[in-house]
Amino acid sequence: RVEKSYISQRPDAQALWCFNITQREGKTFELHLTGKIKQQLSADPTLRPEYLSSLGLTKFTQRATEVALGKRSQAILENRVLGVHTPGFTAAMRLGAELLRHWYDVNAAWCGPVYLSSPCDDSLAGIFQAAGIQDIREYYYWDDKQRDICLDKLLEDLETAPEQSVVVLAASAHCPTGADLSQNQWAVITQLILRRRLFPFLMLPAQALCYGDLERDAWPVQLCASNGIELLCAQSFSHCFGLYGEKAVGHLLCVLKHNSLLLSVQSQADKIVKSLWSQPSVGGARVVATVLSNPAHLVEWQGEVKHIVERCMLIREVLRERLRLLGTPGCWDHLTQQRGLYCCMGLNGQQVEFLSKWRHVYLLPSGCLNVSAINGRNLSYVAESIHLALTTSL
């Protein structure tokens, strides 16, 4: 994934589309506990430089699997789960895409279709195409007029999908809208997946940063697994641990129907990984595994993550109130109905262009901004800019 940042000659320029969580000063945010664990690990004389296996750090994959499925998961107890440590979220998606072609029948290639939400992260289609899957389709997700998920149209699209179609779904932190399916909506979709024999590929790109809890964000994954559904799930721990750059940490979770398939899928994953990146980086994974394995560290980490979640929700509330006080046209309640790092503002292409050209406020073409990039210094400017984008005639 390419991180986006913008530089303007104007001193009041605002760079609002970036993937890192930022502080008030606009600098990348690092959790206090993450920095402390890094120092402890670097000073540990028992840790030696060494190559990992192609599947990654075992302790990390165990902990990552548990926070996705729950420690008491039937799938874990029955030994039909495979976890693969990857160098970031995009790598987990790519590995999953490669595995899909061999999932249903090891002796016969599978080539699609794959259904992506409309809208979705721009990179997703390219990831599947790079893996040789060209049949990429869309299912309806976001209604621009209502500024909400349109479940009826979503279900209609999935109802007509061919059997064994792969449906890519955000378990939480949907990008770019920030709007996630409710538990009741997930219950309906899960039953449709079972009845239509679809294959879910779930995503957790910013696990824990919607509700402040790893397992709560992963609830849809646990729901699917508890219903006996085979699935893939791509996880990222980069955002919630403040691990960026060379220490990006991802994980691909494979839940099988029968443990008799485990060795063949593991063998296939091993071959694919060796052709893509050989071994993942160990540094970030050690930090995550250390925190998730230590109850005291886990409590401290959860406190820091909840602070980030509360900050993002406060920003949403204040931004909504500023827009109301400015008399900005439209209803802005959707700002606080969404969660996570992203928010679909409901702006059109002309308004987004106005923000970038005249106010140096940068959003995605779909009108999505990164809430975590707003801080006390630029919030008023952002609200005023959005107001002007909707009220100024060019």
- The pLDDT tens digits of the residues spanning 199-212 come to 999 999 988 999 88
Nearest in space to 65 (alpha carbons), one of 81, 77, 49, 53: 81
Q: Are residues 266 and 135 in the same domain?
A: yes
Spatial CA neighbour of 221 closest among 65, 63, 29, 373: 65
Q: What is the pLDDT of residues 295-348, one digit of tens each?
A: 999 999 999 999 999 999 999 999 999 999 999 998 899 899 888 888 888 888
pLDDT at 291 over 60: yes
Give the pLDDT confidence score for residue 31 in this predicted structure. Answer: 87
* Mean pLDDT (whole number) for 355-384: 90
Does 366 reside within a domain? yes
**Is pLDDT of 13 > 60?**
no
Give yes or no for a contact between 170 and 203, defined as CB atoms under 8 angstroms apart: yes
Mark which of 278, 293, 308 sits at the end of a domain.
Answer: 293
pLDDT in tens, 158-193: 999 999 899 999 999 898 888 999 999 999 999 999
Whether residue 22 contacts residue 29, with contact meaning beta carbons closer than 8 Å, is answered with yes
Least confident piece of the model among 99-108, 150-159, 169-178:
99-108
**pLDDT at residue number 27:** 66
Answer with the residue of higher pLDDT: 244 or 25. Answer: 244
Same domain, residue pair 256 and 175: yes
**Angstrom distance (rounded) from CA 323 to CA 387:** 7
Structurally, the chain folds into a number of domains equal to: 2
Count the residues in the chain.
394
Q: What gap in Å lies between CA 38 and CA 30, rounded to an integer?
A: 11
Which residues span the domain enclosing 288? Answer: 58-293
Say if 331 falls within a structural domain: yes
Average pLDDT of the chain is 87
Same domain membership, residue 305 and residue 279: no
DSSP letter at 338? Answer: S
Evaluate the omega torsion of the peptide bond into residue 329 and state whether it is cis, within 30 degrees of 0: no
Q: At what angle do helices 379-391 and 295-325 cross, to 10 degrees?
A: 40
Give the global pTM.
Answer: 0.88
Residues 130, 84 within the same domain? yes
In-domain check, residue 260: yes
Burial class (CB in 10 A: 0-12, 13-18, 19+), 332: buried
pLDDT at position 25 is: 59
Domain co-membership, 181 together with 63: yes
Q: Does residue 46 lie within any of the structural domains?
A: no
> What percentage of the chain reaches a pLDDT higher than 90?
62
Shared domain for 261 and 359, answered yes or no, is no
Q: Are residues 314 and 254 in the same domain?
A: no
Query: How far, in Å, CA of 257 to CA of 268, rounded?
Result: 17
CATH number at residue 316: 3.90.1150.10
- Residue 184: exposure state from Cβ atoms within 10 A (0-12, 13-18, ≥19): exposed
- Asked if the structure places residue 195 within a domain, the reply is yes
Spatial neighbors of 26 by CB under 8 A, at least 6 apart, are 15, 375, 377
Say whether both 209 and 306 belong to one domain. Answer: no
pLDDT of residue 279: 85
Q: For residue 263, what is the domain's CATH number?
A: 3.40.640.10
Residues 264 and 171 in one domain: yes
